[in-house]
Amino acid sequence: VAGGSGSRMGGDLPKQFLLINGLPVLMHTINRFANYDPAMEIVLVLPESQIVYWKDLCEKNHFLVPHLVVRGGDTRFHSVNNGINAVLECDLIAIHDGVRPLVSRDTIERCFVSAAESGTAIPVLPVNESLRKGKINHSVSVDRSQYFQVQTPQVFNYNLIKNAYHQLWIPEFTDDASVVEKAGSIIQMVLGNRENIKITHPEDLLIAEALLKNI
Amino acid sequence: VAGGSGSRMGGDLPKQFLLINGLPVLMHTINRFANYDPAMEIVLVLPESQIVYWKDLCEKNHFLVPHLVVRGGDTRFHSVNNGINAVLECDLIAIHDGVRPLVSRDTIERCFVSAAESGTAIPVLPVNESLRKGKINHSVSVDRSQYFQVQTPQVFNYNLIKNAYHQLWIPEFTDDASVVEKAGSIIQMVLGNRENIKITHPEDLLIAEALLKNI
């Protein structure tokens, strides 16, 4: 799922199209999954206005990984729902942020293995810094050891995620786990990888280039 | 304050001595403050066993920024307390993680300006990823917009921090703000900078080198 319109990057180009070592972020991301399992069915959800640009980009970069392109919706929830509806019946669906090009093979595997057993799996990391809760002018320390930062891919049993996305959208749906949880399932957490950052700010591109040399 | 013994880096060298662009992390960190205000009094708190090594390192690197070296204690709390006790009476004390070499001039300034007004200031960032709370096998989504990740320098009025450190240590003291808060003060939050990462894992060195090229 790549919904970014680029506003937070300070430039005009949506962050999923920015270059890391000369290749658009989104191609790195798709390659991660295609390399993990070449038989995996890949569905890319993109804002409608970006689909022609993407197809041009694929031609220019000779990007040959087979994938279906589906248009996004008004929110991430609606975009993911469009993606799910484009998937043929299968065992597991993995939903991944297009702007997380550094997900490791091990993270992908841990998620699929755990979701095959329990129906759900999301990659998380312990929180590395002190945390405070509240508002900017009134906050309190909280015990960071009770918190986990959530990454993607978030992997679910096909019927379970399909049913969860029949719910009406509420603003509390910040990721797919929150949608599935609201529908009554327990979310299984597995270990993510620290390199699996979300490209959100300009400096994240520099970080990603440095990390790519290492993994 | 540099208390790391290196266990989490997978190597033998404590992380404060690892090299970024050829210079030990701790020298980058000290330079940030010395460049901000050459008249600032700098106190370095180090484990006793590392003091001779540090002094050698300063000679080898021709590191000439004046600073006082104080031995650390059993916990971060006790180390900070030793540092505070070594400071002559002044207006404000800034307590900084030795392994945050990428604090920006603007972050340092925001902290000092705000602490001069209100007595306390810590740099924070909004949380960038979904958060969950609980244990690894049972957790729930929380609203990340209510949370802030905390950086350093944490800057306080001299008497306020001195008094706060007269408290007995409790495990909930994870940073200086939590100590000052427990003593009854309100903590003022200001914006940190995203590059101001804590060097905790081996890949953080690569990230730091990439970011240093940019700031």
pLDDT tens for B134-176 read 998 889 999 999 999 999 999 999 999 999 999 999 988 989 9
Over its C-alpha atoms, chain B yields an Rg (Å, rounded) of 17
The pTM of the full predicted model, rounded to 2 decimals, is 0.90
What is the token pair recorded at B96? 């900084």
Task: For tokens 């529908």, name the residue.
Answer: A183
Mean pLDDT of B181-208: 93
Q: Does A147 touch chain B (CB under 8 A)?
A: yes
- Helix, strand, coil shares of chain A, percent, nearest 5, are 40, 20, 40
3-state secondary structure of A51: helix
Assess contact for B199 and B86: CB atoms under 8 A: no
3-state secondary structure of B156: strand
Residue B196's closest CA among B57, B32, B84?
A: B32
Q: Is A149's pLDDT higher than 90?
A: yes
Task: Report pLDDT digits (tens) over A74-132.
Answer: 999 999 999 999 998 899 999 999 999 999 999 999 999 999 999 999 999 999 899 99
Task: For tokens 């009094």, name the residue.
Answer: B41
Q: Is B44's pLDDT higher than 60?
A: yes
Residue B9 pLDDT: 45
Residue among A124, A137, A141, A179 with most chain B CBs within 10 A, to mutate: A141
Task: Report pLDDT digits (tens) over A29-65.
Answer: 999 999 999 999 999 999 999 999 999 999 999 999 9
Complex prediction ipTM: 0.90
The C-alpha atoms of residue A18 and residue A168 are separated, in whole angstroms, by 33
What is the token pair recorded at B213? 């090229």
Task: Report pLDDT digits (tens) over B120-135.
Answer: 999 999 998 999 999 9
Residue A77 pLDDT: 95
Q: Does A172 touch chain B (CB under 8 A)?
A: yes
Read off the amino acid at residue A72. G
Q: Is B5's pLDDT higher than 70?
A: no
Looking at chain B, the whole-number percentage of residues with pLDDT higher than 70 is 96
Residue A156's closest CA among A58, A87, A202?
A: A87
Residues in chain A: 215
Question: Given pLDDT bands bounded at 50, 70 and 90, which one contains residue A8?
Answer: very low
Residue B180's closest CA among B148, B196, B158?
A: B158
How far from the centroid of its chain's Cα atoms is residue A200's Cα? 12
Q: Does B131 touch chain A (CB under 8 A)?
A: yes
Looking at chain B, the whole-number percentage of residues with pLDDT higher than 90 is 85
Which member of A132, A151, A194 has the closest CB to residue B148?
A132
Q: Is A25's pLDDT higher than 80?
A: yes
Q: Does A149 touch chain B (CB under 8 A)?
A: yes
Contact list in B for residue A189 (CB cut-off 8 A) is 132, 136-137, 139
Assess contact for A38 and A32: CB atoms under 8 A: no
Residue B8 pLDDT: 45
Read off the amino acid at residue B4. G
Question: Given pLDDT bands bounded at 50, 70 and 90, which one contains residue B35?
Answer: very high
Residue B57's closest CA among B102, B101, B98, B25?
A: B25
Mean pLDDT of B57-68: 97
Task: Report pLDDT digits (tens) over A156-179.
Answer: 999 999 999 999 999 889 899 999
Residue B3 pLDDT: 81
Q: What secondary structure letter does DSSP report for B173?
A: -
Residue A46's closest CA among A77, A100, A4, A96?
A: A4
Q: What is the DSSP string of B40-85?
A: ---EEEE-GGGHHHHHHHHHHTT-----EEEE--SSHHHHHHHHHH
Which member of A131, A149, A181 has the closest CB to residue B150?
A131
> For B91-106, b where at least 16 C-beta lie within 10 A, e where not — what string?
ebbbbbbbbbbbbbee
Angle at Cα B177 formed by Cα B172 and Cα B182, nearest 5°?
55
**Nearest-CA distance from B53 to chain A in Å?**
28
Question: Given pLDDT bands bounded at 50, 70 and 90, which one contains residue B191?
Answer: very high
Residue A87 pLDDT: 94
Task: For tokens 């060298």, name the residue.
Answer: B13
What is the token pair recorded at A142? 């909280």
Residue among B114, B133, B146, B207 with most chain A CBs within 10 A, to mutate: B207
Residue A215 pLDDT: 65
Alpha helices in chain B (DSSP H): 25-36, 51-60, 76-85, 105-118, 158-164, 176-182, 203-212
Contact list in B for residue A138 (CB cut-off 8 A) is 186
